[in-house]
Amino acid sequence: MLDVRHCATLAEAAGIVSGDRQAVLLGGGTLVMRDVNEGRLTEGTLLRVTDPVFRRIEAGGGRIELGAGVTMGMILANRDLAFLHAAARAIGGPAVRNMASVGGNLFAASPYGDFTVALLALDAQVVVQAGFGSGRAVPLEEFLAARERSGPALVTAVQFSRPSNPGEFHFRKISRVRPKGISVLSIAAHLPQSGGRMAQVRVAYGAMAPTPIRARGVERALEGKSLDAGAIQMAKQAALEGCRPATDAIASEWYRREVLPVHLGRLLAGDGR
């Protein structure tokens, strides 16, 4: 039988996650409740965190912290987070967005995880209070690499720096159905310019590997360059480095590999298509 426990504090939830391997954290439930309805999840305890800290947004300054329970809808309602609106709007339809949480997106299997792609290009850190790497802020890339084998965890928040120029942060999701369709792939890029050259470039992909990944080859191709046709060509040539896309109901591995460089080129060229 499946039980539900309401945790008034994060500490209480962390205690249960650490001690009970059958505890399943419930964010917005858009993935967990599917399993309940399909009879895939019939035993154990669903943990509902009611601590207000879990749904807190701190976005007034240069350092941003989003509680893991913050929903895509809450991000879209927050003007200080305008640079993240394209990524938040990429998740499902309006009702899904009112439920889908930042924390749940970190665990969503490919081709889901579009918001996490944006976080990866922002060099986000994941605050874990129980389970993998607990008690510290883990770099998101490290967190994703360990996600499948790390067992139950309680993520309480994600943290990252605000891009000093929001116009240098880009996100696009490629899907076959508009306005709402599951990702063929998604791309996020943070391209800070200093003196006409790019420095600390971060590019990330969704649906191009079992988890969202950083596009290291592209980052190397762009670092220190000005964003011109030559640099974009080099980035496109390096686009597929490290990619291991899947064939699924949305697209084949071949198709994802074919279209990724095209969409990356358009994003870098500022082409709105």
Partner 1 sequence: MAKIPVQFRLNGSDRAAFVDAPETLLNTLRRGLGDFAPKYGCGQGACGVCTVLIDGEPHLSCLTLSVACEGKRIETASGMADGPDLHPLQAQFMEHFAAQCGFCTPGMLTVARALLDRNPNPTRDEVIEAISGNICRCTGYEPIVAAILAAAGSPGMRRSEGGRHA
Ligand X SMILES: Cc1cc2nc3c(=O)[nH]c(=O)nc-3n(C[C@H](O)[C@H](O)[C@H](O)COP(=O)(O)OP(=O)(O)OC[C@H]3O[C@@H](n4cnc5c(N)ncnc54)[C@H](O)[C@@H]3O)c2cc1C
CB 60 within 8 A of CB 31: no
* Interaction between residue 43 and partner 1 (CB under 8 A): no
Q: With CA atoms as reference, report the closest residue to 54 among 73, 64, 69, 65.
A: 69
**How many residues sit in the footprint of partner 1 (CB under 8 A)?**
26
**Binding partner selected for residue 73 from ligand X, partner 1, none, CB under the kind-specific 5 to 8 Å limit:** partner 1
Dist CA 131 CA 144 (whole Å):
14
Dist CA 41 CA 62 (whole Å):
41
**Closest separation between CB of residue 193 and partner 1, Å?**
32
| Ramachandran category for residue 188: left, alpha or beta (phi over 0 → left; psi -120 to 50 → alpha) | beta
**Closest separation between CB of residue 234 and ligand X, Å?**
29
Interface segment toward partner 1; rule CB under 8 A; list 35-43, 134-142, 188-196, 198-206 = 35-43
Pairing of strands 63-67, 23-26: unpaired
Dist CA 195 CA 172 (whole Å):
26
**Binding partner selected for residue 153 from ligand X, partner 1, none, CB under the kind-specific 5 to 8 Å limit:** ligand X
Interface segment toward ligand X; rule CB under 6 A; list 21-29, 142-150, 222-230, 235-243 = 21-29
Closer residue to partner 1 (CB): 21 or 40: 40
Catalog residues that contact partner 1 under the rule CB under 8 A.
1-4, 6, 26, 28-30, 33-34, 36-38, 46, 48, 73, 92-96, 98-99, 179-180
